[in-house]
Chain A
Amino acid sequence: MAWWRRRRRYDYSDFYPRSVPIEAKGGIKAQAKRGEFAESWWAKRWIEVLEGFDIGARLHRGRSYARSGQVLSIDLQAGGVTAQVQGSRPKPYSVKIKVKTMKEAERAKLMRAISQQAIFAAKLLAGEMPKDVESALTGAGMSLFPERLNDLDTQCSCPDWSNPCKHIAAVYYLLGEEFDRDPFLIFKLRGVEREHLTAGLGRAQAAAEEAQVTTAVDKSEAAGEPLDATPAAFWHGADFPTGWLGEVHIPPMAAALPRRLGAFPFWRGADRFLDAITPAYSSASLHAQRRLLGEE
C-alpha cells in the first residue's frame, strides 16, 4: 500500500478538470434510483461510515457512479471486497476495501451474543439484522461495523489522491444496498460465514441448503422406486383424485413470487430485475389459463 493513498487531507479534485467516465455497460446498477441508498438500519450504519469521511463532491459523484452502473463487478470475500470500476480511462480501476476480520475469540463472543436469544437467529434467517445484535456486541466490547478510520483500508488504482475516491464511494454505496438485501454479507465480510452463524439453528437450515443444490432432474436420477409387477398398477394406475388441479385463476398481483424473494444479488441487468421479468408473468399466466380453457 502506497503511503500517499492514506492521505486525504488535501482535496486535489478542484485542480483537475472534472473527468467524464467512459460509459459502462453491464455494470451493477443501484436499484434505488433516487434518495437514500439504504433502507435498513444496518445498511445505513455502513453508509454512515463512508459519509463520515469528509470527501466533498466525491460522495455525490460516487452515488451517480453507483446509479449509472460504472461498477462492473464486486467480489465480496471474508476480510475484503475487490471491485472493478469504469472511470474515465479505458482500463477499469480496481478498488479494494479491506476490513478487519474477527478473531477467533471475537467470533466466539459473537456466537454467544446471538445464541442468547434465538430470536436473533430467527430474524437473521428472515433477512433481518436484529438491532439488539449490535448492542449485544458493544456490550462484549466489539463492533460489527468499521467505526474508525483504522478499521478500514481502502485502495483505488485511479489517479485521484483522495481516499476514499468516488470509485470507492460507488462500491461502498452498492455494498450498502446488498447488505439491505442480505445482512449475512456483513458477517461474511468480517470473516463469519453464514453457516457458522446459523449452526445454532441446526438441520433446518442445512437441509434447505442441501435441497437447493439438487435440482429436480438430479433428484429423479438419484431417488429410484421400483416398479410394481401387478399388471393393473403397472398399466392403469388410478383415477385422478379430487381437487388435484386447484383453482385456475390469475393472481391479482403479478410476479408475487419474485417480489417476495426481493432484489437479485448484485444485479447488473440493463433493466431493473422485476421490470424485466414481470411482463413474462402476466402474459404467461393468461396464456396458461386460456390453454386450460381450451381457448388456445
Chain B
Amino acid sequence: MIVLHAAQVAHELFLWAEQPVDTPAPARKRGRSARTSRANPLPFGAGTKAITGTLAGVLGENWAATRDVQRLTISIPARDGRPIASTPLVAEPPQEGSEIVMSKWTVEALRLSPTQATQLLGECLDRETLGPGVLIARDLRFWAGALRFASALVARQQFLPGLARLEDGWYARWEPVVGGVDADRLQKLAAVMPHSARALTSDPEVPPASPSAALTAFLTSVVDHIVRSGLPSAALPPLPAPRRRRIFDSTHDQWMHALHEDDGFMLGGHDEIEKLAADIRSWRLPLQMTEAAPVKLCFRLEEPPEPDGRADAEPPGRPKRTARKREDLASWFVRFLLQPAADPSLLVEASDIWKDHTARTVLLPRGDSSPREYLLAALGQAAGICPRIEACLNAAEPSGYPLDTAGASEFLTEKAAALEQSGFVVMAPAWWTGRGTKLRLAARARVAGAPLKSPSGLTLDAVVGFDWEVALGDATLSRAELEALAKLKAPLVRLRGQWVQLSADQIRAAVDLWKNGGGQMRVRDIVRMGLGAAAPVAGVEIQSAVAEGWIGELLAQLDGSAPYSEFGHPEGFEGRLRPYQLRGYSWLAFLRRWGLGACLADDMGLGKTIQVLALIQRDWRENRRAPVLLICPTSVTGNWQKEAERFTPDLPVLVHHGTERMRGAAFRKQAARHALVVSSYPLLHRDFDLFKDVAWGAIVLDEAQNIKNPETKQARCARSLQADCRIALTGTPVENNVGDLWSIMEFLNPGYLGTNSDFKRRFFLPIQVDKDPHAVERLKRLTGPFILRRLKTDKTVIADLPDKLEMKVYCPLTKEQASLYAAVVRDAEQELDGAEGIQRKGLVLATLMKLKQACNHPAQLLGDGSQIPGRSGKLARLTEMLDEMILAGDCALVFTQFAEMGAILQRYLQETFGREILFLHGATPKKQRDAMVARFQGDGEAPPVFLLSLKAGGTGLNLTRASHVFHFDRWWNPAVENQATDRAFRIGQTRNVQVHKFICQGTVEERIDEMIERKSEISARVVGTGEGWLTELSTSELKELFALRDEAVQE
C-alpha cells in the first residue's frame, strides 16, 4: 500500500508518497537527514525505492531508473507532534490531544520532468488507484485536472512564444496566456486545490506559494511541454553547443529554433538575449495591460425597444408586411460599461464615469486608478479589434454606439468572440447565449402516406415516404414564408417577441431542402430523427420527425409520451413478478419487437435476471425458439443457471464453460435446441468462431460494464455477433460514467450515437469533465428511450418492494480452490471410516471448517500469507458487487465467521478500492469499536464498507447506514445470520436492505443450504445453535454432503 502525492515546488512538480509504517521500508540512515535539515523525516514518508518500484510496476520499467531525488521539507497538520496522514490507511489519526497545527518534516521526493509529469498525470485522470495498493492522493488528482486545463489552453491556442530565465540560463518557451474567462477558470480551479499540493518546499524559510501562483507555475511548465510535443515535425534535436551559436544569423533565428526543439536552451551573449527579452515584453505589452487592470471593460448589446408591443402578433416574414424596413430601422445599441474584477455584479455605465468623478470610489474602493483613464486605454485597445468602437472614439465622451440589425448580427457572430478572447467582457442577450430557449431554423420530416393500422409485420426497415417541413421553434413555416424570409436578408428576426438568428446560408439550405422535396426513408432513420439523433441534412439541422399511425405511436412510446403494452406473467413462469418487473420485461419486449437494443440498468437486487428470464420464457411459449446467448462474468454463470432452474424450469439451459465444453458442430446443434446458452466474457472472445455461426434470437450481456472499453476484444466480439435483439444489463449507474455509455450503446444500437470520437467531443468532455448540464440533457434525450433504470429508493416506482430482500449469490471455485477442496475431502474420507465418538465429531467439524476455508480463499486455508488476487470465486464476485454498490453511493456490511478471512478481505479491498475499509473483530477493543461504529454511521467521507466477524459484530451494534448485507461465508444457523443481518435492518433504517448470501455452488455450502431450505427433516435439529447437528449424519451422508460436484468450477 502506497499513497502517491504531487506538489509544485517553484517551477517543477515533485512526487512523494506515504506508506504505512508497518510495511517494510528501506532502512533510513538517521544521521544524514539531520544534516540537511533540522526537521525529522516524516514517519510514514515512503523511500525513493518504494516510489520508483511502484511506478515501474504500474507505468513501465523506465520509471525504475528515475534518479532525480531530493530530500525536501513538507508541512503537514499534526497533533502533539504526531503528523496526520492523508488517509487512515496510512496511519490512524491521533484522536485526541491539543490543537492541530502545521509541523515540518522531510520526505524524499522525485523531481518529475515535464514529460514524466504529463505521462503520470495522464494516467491519474478520474481514477482512485493506479493499480492494486497504489492510491492516488487528492493533490495528485488535482494536478491531473490541472493538466487537462493546460491541454485545453493549448487546444484553444492561448499561448505565446516567450523567453524565461532559469538557474542555468535562458530558455525559449511557449507560455500560457490566461486572460478573460480563462483567468476566472484558473481562479476557480485554484480555489479547489488541496493545500498539500503546495506543501513541499526546498527552502523552509520561504512561505508556501499561493494556490494560483502554484497553479500558474505548473501551467507554465506543462503548456510548454504540450506545445512542443505537438509540433509539426518531431521536435528538432538540440544542436551541439559549440555549433549552436554560429549556425544562426540572428538571435531571432536562434529563438525560433529553440522554440521548436526539445529543451529550448538559448546560447548567446547576455546583452543580446536581454534585448530579445525586452523586445518580447514590449511586443506583449498590450495584452498585459488588459490583464493587470482592476476593472474590465464590458460591451453590452441591447435590443431595440419593442415596437408598440405589437411584435407578439407578428409571425415571421408574412409577405404583406414591410418587415424589412421595420427591422432595419430598429436600433440596437452596444453600451460600454466598467466591471470591477473584484465584484463582477457591479456594472457602471461609461456615461456615468464621464459625468461623475466620484465613480472611482464606487468602482475601486482602494482608489489606485482612475476608471476614466482605464476606460480610455481599454477603449483604445478595443478599437483595434472593432472599427465601430474606433469610430465612436471621436466623440468626446463615448458611451456606446448604435447598430442596425445586420450590425448586431455581426457583433454577435464575429466581434463578440474577438473581444472576449482579448479579455473584454461581452454581455449578449439571453436568447443568444443560450440561457433562454434558443429558437433555431430546423427541418423536420413529416411522414406521408396512408398510416397502417395494424403494426404487425411492420419493422424499422419498412420504407415510408416523407416530406420536409421547416420550422422556427414550434412554428412551421410555409414555403412562401421561408422565401419571404430569404428575401428579407435580415440575419436577426423578431418572432413573437423573441429574436432569432437566421443566416442567409441556412435559409438557402432550407429552401433547397424543400425544393428537392422529401423522399423515402427507412423507419429506423425516422426514429433517429424523432429522437434528435440525426445528423444535419445539407446543412440544415434536423429537429424531429412527425408521423401519424403506427410510426407516430412508436415515436411517442419511445420518448415516453405514450405507454407501451404491458404483459402479464408469462405462462410457465414460476414465482411472481412484481409490478415494476412486469413493466421492465414488457419494456424489453417492446424494444425487442422493433429490433432495438435495450439497456436494463435497475439497481442491484431489483431482479434484472428474472425480467430477462420472463422475456425468454414468453418467447419460448410463443414458439419463438431461437436460442438466446447470455454472456456474463465467470463468477455469475452459476447464478444464472440457478435462477433459470428456479423461475423458468421449462427452459432448456446450456451452460457453456469449462474444459469439457462442446465445440464445433456439436455446439451448434446443441445450442439450437436450447432456450438459453450461458457463457462468460473470456469465452466470448475465445469461442467467438463458435458463437458467430449460430442464429441467435438475442444476445444478452450481463454486467455490461465489462465492454465499457470499446477497443477490447470482448467489446469487439460482442458488437460483431449477429442477433435479432440485443440486451445489456448493468447495475452500475450509467449516468455517472458517460465514457462507458458509448460502447454499450454501440453494442445495442450500432451507429446511433455516432463515432466514438464524436461522442467524446459532444458529450464525454462536456459532461464528465466540465459538468455541462445542457450536454447532460441532450444525452438523456438521446439515450433515454433505450435505458431503463429504476432505483430501489424510488418508492413511487417500486412501492411493493419488501423492506428486506434476501438473495443467494452462487459463486464458482477457481481450479486451485477445487483441487484444495478435493484434497480435504480425500483426507476426510479416509479418516472418517475408522473414526468414532468424540474423535469423529471433531473430525467432521474440522473438515467442515477446512472446506469452508477452501471455498473462501486458498490463502485462508493454507494460512501462508500468499497473494490474494485471482484465486477465489467468492472474492471476485464480492469485489464486483461492492464496486457496483460503491459507485451507486451505497454502503455495506460484510460478515465472515473467520477473523483471518476478514483481515485478508480488509487488505485486499482497501488496495483495490483505495479507500479505508473498517474491520471489527473479537480482538478489537471496546473503545475502538465505538469509534468505528460512529465513523461508519457518520456522513460524507465515511468508509463505505464495514467488515465484521460474525461473532463480534453479530449483535448489539446499530449500523443502519448500510443498505446491503453480505454473508461471505455461512454459519448454518438462520437465527445467527438473521441477527447479524439485523445490524443494518433496524429502527432508523429508511431504505430497503438487501441481503446477499454467498454460496459456492457444487460444494458442501450448497448442499447444506438446500438441506436448510428443505427444513422438514432437520429444522428441529437446526433450532439449536452451532453446526453440531452435522456430526450426527452418517458417514455416507457426510461423504455425499462433502463431495465436490462438476458445476463447482466455472472456468
Contacts and interface: CB of A to CB of B under 8 A. Distances in A.
Interface of A: 25-27, 117-119, 121-128, 182, 200-205, 207-213, 215-217, 219-221, 223-231, 233-251, 254-258, 260-262, 264-271, 273, 276-277, 279-289, 291-295
A209 B160 CA distance: 18
B195 A228 contact: yes
A208 B291 CA distance: 8
B252 A246 contact: no
A25 B232 contact: no
7 contacts: A201-B377, A203-B368, A211-B291, A220-B209, A245-B770, A246-B156, A284-B231
Secondary structure dominating the interface of B? helix
Contacts of A223: 209-210, 213
Interface string B377-395: 1011101110000000110
Interface string B67-84: 000000001110000001
Contacts of A25: 249-250
Interface stretch (B39-47, B144-152, B622-630, B638-646): B144-152
Nearest to B384: A126
Given A227-B195, A268-B251, A268-B252, A257 B177 contact: yes
A25 B101 CA distance: 63
A203, A221, A235, A281 — most chain B CB neighbours (10 Å): A235
A283 B151 contact: no
Contacts of B312: none
A277 B213 contact: no
Given A243-B771, A248-B151, 14 more contacts: A118-B376, A122-B383, A208-B291, A210-B292, A227-B195, A227-B199, A239-B192, A245-B770, A251-B157, A257-B159, A261-B287, A283-B232, A289-B155, A293-B757
Contact of B155 (A211, A229, A250, A269): A250
Contacts, number: 334
Given A246-B152, A280-B231, A291-B151, A125 B377 contact: yes
Interface stretch (B182-190, B668-676, B902-910): B182-190
A204 B207 contact: no
A289 B122 CA distance: 14
A121 B377 contact: yes
9 smallest CB-CB distances across A and B, nearest first, come from A287-B230, A26-B249, A224-B207, A26-B250, A25-B249, A126-B380, A237-B194, A122-B380, A220-B213
B155 A248 contact: yes
B154 A284 contact: yes
Contacts of A209: 285, 288
Interface in B261-290: 279, 281-289
B761 interface: yes
B370 interface: yes
A289 B252 CA distance: 29
Given A225-B211, A237-B192, A280-B259, A231 B249 contact: no
Contacts of A125: 289, 376-377, 380-381
A269 B253 contact: yes
A281 to B, nearest CB: 5
A119 B373 CA distance: 10
A237 B197 contact: yes
A239 B185 CA distance: 14
B138 A257 contact: no
Contact of A237 (B195, B287, B377): B195
Contacts of B383: 122-123, 126, 128
A24 B214 CA distance: 45
B195 A292 contact: no
B380 A288 contact: no
Nearest to B99: A229
B765 interface: yes
B157 A219 contact: no
B1031 interface: no
Contacts of A271: 256
A242 B771 contact: yes
Contact of A249 (B77, B155, B260): B155
B160 A269 contact: no
Contacts of B206: 221, 224
A270 B249 contact: yes
A25 to B, nearest CB: 3
A187 to B, nearest CB: 14
Given A208-B289, A217-B11, A220-B10, A128 B380 contact: yes
Given A200-B373, A257-B177, A221 B191 contact: no
B769 A124 contact: no
A264 B289 contact: no
Contacts of B771: 240, 242-243
A289 to B, nearest CB: 4
A283 B231 CA distance: 6
B547 interface: no
A245 B185 contact: yes
Given A221-B10, A245-B148, A269-B250, A208 B393 contact: no
A122 B379 contact: yes
B381 A285 contact: no
A210 B368 CA distance: 14
Contacts of A256: 157, 421
Nearest to B137: A235
A284 B251 contact: no
Contacts of A215: 164, 220
A236 B138 contact: yes
A243 B102 CA distance: 33
B220 A217 contact: yes
Contacts of A128: 380, 383-384
B192 A238 contact: yes
A261 B252 contact: no
B188 A255 contact: no
A127 B256 contact: no
B293 interface: yes
Nearest to B389: A126
B992 interface: no
B293 A240 contact: no
